[in-house]
Structure 1
Amino acid sequence: MISILVPIYNCNVYPLVLELHKQCSDCGINFEILCQDDASQSNLNIFNKNVNALSDCSFVSLKENIAHRENRNSLAEQAKYQYLLFIDGDSIIIDNNYIKKYIDNLPDFDVIYGGRLHPEKCPSENQKLRWKYGRFIEDKTSENRRKKPYKSLLFNNTVIKKDCFNKVKFDKNIKKYGHDDTQLSYQLNLLQVKINHIENPVEHGDIDTNLDYLNKTKESLENLISLYQEEKIDVEFVRLIQLYYFLKKTKSAFIISKLYAVFEKSLLKNLTGNNPNLLAFNMFRVGYLCTIN
């Protein structure tokens, strides 16, 4: 029936697995839960080892880091069932019928995405940028996601048929952070697989600090441009690439890069502060995008 694949890096996955195990058992389905830590050498793995005491569950800690994309690929290769549920180790299950909702929606679709939510209250002022962007920009209802089914797809909290995943997989040659979901969604778009968006979100548990998120954003933008330049993604598939292409074509990127250099410190001061502004974040992203060669 279903293989639940949980890539881990430095987090305690046992409470998540315990809830997933309970719900799968209550549904009376054939299942397995495979957890794989990407050589984090975390002290939290002491708790993660308890996963091995649960029926049809396993936890493994890799000796060498293979990066998040290849960790997902590796888990998929080990999976023995037809359906794969990808769920990140820092996710929080917020619905007692979470597994049942997926099981009820499996027929007739190659991919099913349940969505993601951020908590109603920000955990701390030092996490406000990631929390704001997640809660007010990224979090979408299934109705909104269905309007652009491929572009609204993330691979945390997604069920995909194994034979479908094997046609695409995550690009193991790319090591930088970011847009692995975008690239895979683009490949699924080319294949025109059947996607369903349902209301079955998990909560984003481990929210980055402001500075960490800014650094990840920079690396993500660099990776996005690389994907475009290597023709691994089409210009029309991502709005930021469309904007980048337009600014380059109109020779506006150079001017914006100079303006970014002038205002960078002011933007960073706001974005790493207690009340980051999302407009300032967009200005930061566009400005940094224009500095990438």
Structure 2
Amino acid sequence: MKITICIPVYNFDVRELVSDLKKEIIAKDFNAEIILIDDQSKEEFKQINEVLQKQVDQFIYLDKNIGRSKIRNLFLTYSKGDYLLFLDCDGKVTDNNFVGNYIQFINENPGTKVIYGGRVVSESNPDRDHYLRWKFAVERENLPVSSRLENPYLSFQTNNFIIGKEVFQKISFNSEFQKYGYEDLLFAMDLKSNNIKIDHIHNPILNIDVEDNRLYLEKVKESVDSLSKMLADEELNSKMSEVKLVKAFNMICRIGLKRAFIVLFKINKPMVEKKLLKGKGKINLRYLDYYKLGLLLQKTE
């Protein structure tokens, strides 16, 4: 069994991540390769990562940015592995048996098709400018296996997962959505509609690049824009119906309160943004839920 480690690179120094992975592969003599694809990073990051060209199996540079979905699909062109292990470039390995944990699970569960390992962030409170993204990660993303198994598809993320090549050849990421947001859940729902199980294990990657509050809110807007386009498609709308935000959106529309909610949201939006951006304190993530719902309703006026 051969593993292809796939790392899309965009404006980040991946030298430590690659070094840690290579140490484990060499020390344990795993049949594994590492492929990097740079999605048109800034020149400074290309220069930083240039040393890796001789340390990985393949390092591909793209002449234009193609986005989160297309770049993951592109790894199929270069992969020689039976399984593809996808990692975000801003991750850090914290277990010297990280790759081995996946291999062990596959060997013990030969029928497995997709495995999600999880994610964590630093336990230390960040400064106020980075608090919102950190709090969202702690409360909504860094879930233990027991919680993830309650909703195995909705708990799936693309920062750290492994998938059988044959499965990925049949079910890839929807390339219509290039920007940030909900492409991971759409992919998970595509797996669900094809009766492909997602297994969950405790094998987390540490996320070391927590965005500042303002940048995170911009990414939230981008994600809502992507979701609104998904909901405009009847088939995709049906697939995304289990998502919490979509459930709230559909309920508001069904009971005829969409217009009233939008009017109220336009009045409250500056206050909500101020609360979300202020940083430390008792930031209630329900404000973020309200913010996303208001943006989504506006996008679909």
Normalized against structure 2, the TM-score is what? 0.93
What residue number does 1:110 align with?
Answer: 113
User: C-alpha offsets along residues 66-101 of structure 1, whole Å, 9 cap, x if unaligned?
Assistant: 112111111222101110000011101111111111
The equivalent residue for 1:7 is 8
Task: Say what the alpha-carbon RMSD is for the aligned residues.
Answer: 1.4
Look up the match of 2:157: 154
User: What letter corresponds to residue 206 of structure 2 in structure 1?
Assistant: E
Cα–Cα, structure 1 residues 37 and 220, in superposed 2: closer, same or farther, change >3 Å?
same
| 2:68–2:179 Cα contact (<8 Å) kept | no
Which SS does the other structure have where 1:154 is aligned?
coil
Rounded to whole Å, the distance in 2 between the matches of 1:131 and 1:259 is 28
Deviations 1:102-140 (A, max 9, x none): 110112200011001111124432111111001111110
Shift of 1:179: 0.7
Counterparts of 1:186-225 in structure 2 under 5 Å? Answer: 186-225=189-228
**Is 1:141 matched up with 2:144?**
yes
Aligned letter for 2:49?
N
Residue 15 of structure 2 corresponds to residue 19 of structure 1: no
Cα distance in 2, alignment partners of residues 42 and 228 from structure 1? 37
- Structure 1 contact 225–241 (Cα < 8 Å) conserved: no
- Give the structure 2 partner of residue 44 of structure 1: 45
Residue in structure 1 matching 2:123, options 120, 143, 148: 120
Conservation of the 8 A alpha-carbon contact between 1:12 and 1:48: yes
Is residue 2:180 matched to residue 1:177? yes
1:266 matched to 2:271? The reply is yes
Report the alpha carbon displacement of residue 274 of structure 1 after superposing the two structures with TM. 2.2
What SS does the corresponding residue of 2:43 show, helix, strand or coil? Answer: coil
Q: Counterpart amino acid of 2:47?
A: I
Deviations 1:178-199 (A, max 9, x none): 1110111011001111321000
Cα distance in 1 between the residues matched to 2:78 and 2:231 = 31
Residue 255 (structure 2) aligns with:
250
Look up the match of 1:31.
32
Find the residue that maps to 1:200 and give its secondary structure: coil
What do residues 225-268 of structure 1 show as CA deviations (whole Å, max 9, x unaligned)? 22122122425321211211111111112111111111111111
Residue identity opposite 1:218 in structure 2: K
* Residues 145-185 of structure 1, C-alpha deviations (whole Å, 9 max, x = no match): 11111111111110000110111111112233211101110
List alignment gaps of at least 5 residues for structure 2: none
- One-letter code aligned to 2:144: T
Q: Distance in 2 between matches of 1:42 and 1:77?
A: 25
Equivalent position SS for 1:112:
strand
Which residue is 2:65 aligned to?
Answer: 65
Contact 2:85 2:160 (C-alpha < 8 Å) held by counterparts: yes
Structure 2 Cα separation of the partners of residues 84 and 178 of structure 1: 22
**Number of residue pairs matched?**
292
Partner of 1:95: 95
Structure 1: distance between partners of 2:237 and 2:21: 34
Q: 1:280 and 1:237, CA in 2 relative to 1: closer, same or farther beyond 3 A?
A: closer
- Where 2:104 maps in the other structure, the secondary structure is helix
The equivalent residue for 1:277 is 284
**1:232 match: secondary structure:** helix
- Separation in 1 of the partners of 2:4 and 2:92? 18
Counterpart Cα distance in 2 of 1:195 and 1:176: 24
- 3-state SS of 1:7 partner: strand
CA shift for structure 1 position 280: 1.8
Whole-Å separation in 2 of the counterparts to 1:122 and 1:70:
34
Q: For residues 137 and 163 of structure 2, what CA distance do their matches in structure 1 show?
A: 24
Specify the alignment match of 1:232 in structure 2. 236
Q: Tell me the CA shift for residue 277 of structure 1.
A: 3.2
Give 1:289 shift.
2.1
Cα displacement (A) at 1:57: 2.8
Percent of aligned pairs with the same amino acid: 31
Q: Which runs of 4+ in 1 moved over 3 A?
A: none
Q: Offset of 1:292 from its aligned partner?
A: 1.8
Unpaired segments of 5 or more residues in structure 1? none
**Structure 2 SS opposite 1:43:** helix
